Structure 1
Amino acid sequence: MSLATPGGRAARASSHTDFVVEQLGRAIVAGEYPSETMIPLDPDLCEMFDVSRTVVREAKKTLIAKGLIQSKAKVGTHVRDAEAWNMFDEDVLRWHAGLRNAGAFYDELFEMRLIFEPAAAGQAALRTNARGCDRLFRLADALAAAPGRADFAVADYEFHREVLRLSGNRFLLSLGDMVQTALYALFLAEAQRFFPEGAQTVAARHRDIAAAICHGDAAAARRSMRRVIEDGYARVNGGSRV
Structure 2
Amino acid sequence: MTLVTAGGAGAERASNHTAFVVDQLGRSIVAGEYPAETMIPLDPDLCEMFGVSRTVVREAKKTLIAKGLIQSKAKVGTHVRRGDEWNMFDEDVLRWHATARNPTRFYEELYEIRMIFEPAAAAQAAGRVNQLDLDELHALCDRLAAADNRTDFAVADYEFHKQVLRLSGNRFLQSLGDLVQTALYSLFMSEHVGDFSDRRESVAQRHRAIVSAIASGAQTDAREAMSRVIQDGYSNVVMRGPVTG
Are the aligned partners of 2:187 and 2:193 in contact in 1 as well (CA < 8 Å)? no
Inter-partner Cα distance in structure 2 for 1:190 and 1:26: 16
Conserved in 1, the CA contact under 8 Å of 2:127 and 2:216?
A: no
Unaligned runs of 5+ in 2: 241-245
CA, structure 1 residues 187+131, in 2 after alignment: closer, same or farther (shift >3 Å)?
Answer: farther
Q: What's the CA shift for 1:126? A: 3.7
Trace 1:195-210 onto structure 2 (pairs within 5 A).
195-210=196-211
The residue type equivalent to 1:51 in the other structure is V
Deviation digits for residues 173-194 of structure 1 (CA, Å, limit 9, x no counterpart) = 1111223420212444699534
User: Secondary structure at 2:36's aligned position in 1?
Assistant: coil
**Distance between the aligned counterparts of 2:82 and 2:200, measured in 1?**
39
Kept after mapping to 2: 8 A contact 1:149/1:192: no
1:30 corresponds to which residue?
31
Instruction: Name 2:75's counterpart in structure 1.
Output: 74
Q: Give matches, 1:1-150, under 5 Å.
A: 5-150=6-151
Q: Deviation of residue 195 (structure 1)?
A: 2.1
Which range moved further: 183-192 or 51-60? 183-192
- What SS does the corresponding residue of 1:163 show, helix, strand or coil? helix
Match of 1:181 in 2: 182
1:154-183 per-residue CA deviation (whole Å, 9 max, x = no partner) reads: 000100111101111111011112234202
Measure, in 2, the Cα distance between the counterparts of 1:189 and 1:14.
Answer: 27
Match of 2:163 in 1: 162
CA distance in 2, matches of 1:152, 1:17: 33
Counterpart code for 1:53:
R
Compute the RMSD of aligned alpha carbons: 1.8
Structure 1, unpaired ranges of 5+: none
Aligned-partner residue type, residue 60 of structure 1: K
Give, in angstroms, the shift of residue 23 of structure 1.
Answer: 1.1
Separation in 1, partners of 2:179, 2:199: 28
Q: 1:102 to 1:130 in 2, by over 3 A?
A: same
How far apart in 1 are the matches of 2:218 and 2:236?
A: 27
Closer, same or farther in 2 for the Cα pair 1:146/1:230, shift >3 Å?
same
Distance in 2, matches of 1:224 and 1:34, equals 40
